[in-house]
């Protein structure tokens, strides 16, 4: 399905964008467009991926700028929307800028994709969009709603929009892993942990990319795809990085949750479980009926989740212990 197709990745110079590029290059695409604001990182990527210069294009632009994204989307088949302001504390202190990027930017992607007859748009979301308590999560929830509703406003056009939602990505830029490593490297007295009971969903970046691309292929429009992934205790992460390291509980930061949710109980009445993932189906009907209970690629049949079911990092059936975390870190 990806062979001889043109794919644009917003936020293409980020951790996800670079991993997605490596994955997509193996699928014999016609062209991959890296769309981002950072000219230095684009230059560095041009050097790193020099042997693929005939099929990779680099667009400097901001998703806040409709005209620029409109121009970039000409003759594009698929869009993977990964651009966002995602740091929770920064979003709390810079709310207007976060809204401009995460909400207005999403709206620009939608309008430009419809205008240019893009076939499919897959937007990345976050566990912080489920029952959000911080501005970042609230803006991503709003963006999710925009992408779902876009399937109804596309009118006679064929553009489809869906969402992939997952938790913390191991190895992503600015992650807690790097923060802890720096504390250990600098021989600081202790590692600060906001709460010893804190849990998080955990996902390897390459698995995150693979899941997202699978969703791009099997999407029908309007679904929120959620992978079944392990949880970790943040305290275990610290001990996996250095056994018997000193830790100190410092209290939750502004906008921070103790545990994260991927599928809230309020969405259980329209959620479907498959072997390796869940989907939250749209609550309203589109222009034509869609059977969300069947995986379009594997033909697997899904089943409705129980009423009131919630998929959260605390009550997850799959936990990584310190040994497993250490193995992941070394791999």
Residues with a catalytic annotation lie at 128
* DSSP three-state, residue 199: strand
Q: Give the CA distances from residue 247 to residues 180, 191, 202, 232, in Å, rounded to whole numbers and listed in that order.
A: 10, 5, 21, 17
In angstroms, the Cα distances linking 158 to 117, 287, 293, 325 are: 7, 11, 21, 43
Distance between CA atoms of 4 and 31, rounded to whole angstroms? 8
Ordered alpha helix ranges (H), the chain: 15-25, 39-48, 66-72, 88-93, 95-99, 105-115, 135-153, 176-185, 205-218, 234-241, 322-330
Spell out where 255-324 has E strands: 261-263, 271-273, 277-280, 303-304, 311-312
303-304 and 271-273: which strand pairing?
antiparallel
Residue 148: CB partners within 8 Å, gap ≥ 6? 161, 163, 222, 224, 282
CA distance 280 to 104: 23
Handedness of CA 130, 133, 137, 143 (dihedral sign): positive
Q: Does residue 38 contact residue 10 with C-beta atoms inside 8 Å? A: no
Rg over CA atoms, the chain: 20
Distance CA 135, CA 91 (A): 6
């Amino acid at each position: 399905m990806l062979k001889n197709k043109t794919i644009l990745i917003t936020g293409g110079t980020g951790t996800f964008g670079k991993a997605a590029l490596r994955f997509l290059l193996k699928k014999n695409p016609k062209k991959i467009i890296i769309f981002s604001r950072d000219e230095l990182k684009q230059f560095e990527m041009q050097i790193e991926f020099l042997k693929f210069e005939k099929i990779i294009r680099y667009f400097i632009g901001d998703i806040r700028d409709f005209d620029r994204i409109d121009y970039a989307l000409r003759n594009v088949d698929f869009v993977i929307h990964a651009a966002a302001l995602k740091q929770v504390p920064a979003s709390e202190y810079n709310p207007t800028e976060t809204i401009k990027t995460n909400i207005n930017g999403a709206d620009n992607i939608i309008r430009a994709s419809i205008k240019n007859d893009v076939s499919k748009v897959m937007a990345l979301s976050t566990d912080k969009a489920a029952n959000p308590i911080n501005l970042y999560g609230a803006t991503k929830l709003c963006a999710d709603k925009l992408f779902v509703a876009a399937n109804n406003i596309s009118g006679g056009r064929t553009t489809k929009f869906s969402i992939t939602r997952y938790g913390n990505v191991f190895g992503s830029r600015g992650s807690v892993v790097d923060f802890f490593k720096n504390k250990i490297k600098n021989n600081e007295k202790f590692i600060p942990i906001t709460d010893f009971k804190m849990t998080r969903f955990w996902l390897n970046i390459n698995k995150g990319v693979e899941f997202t691309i699978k969703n791009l292929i099997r999407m029908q429009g309007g679904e929120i795809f959620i992978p079944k992934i392990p949880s970790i205790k943040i305290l275990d992460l610290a001990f996996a990085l250095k056994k018997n390291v000193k830790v100190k509980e410092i209290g939750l930061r502004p906008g921070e949750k103790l545990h994260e949710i991927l599928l809230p109980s309020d969405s259980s009445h329209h959620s479907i479980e498959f072997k390796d993932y869940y989907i939250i189906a749209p609550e309203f009907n589109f222009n034509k009926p869609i059977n969300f209970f069947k995986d379009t690629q594997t033909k697997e049949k899904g089943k409705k989740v129980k009423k009131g079911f919630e998929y959260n990092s605390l009550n997850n059936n799959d936990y990584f212990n310190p040994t497993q975390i250490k193995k992941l870190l070394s791999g």
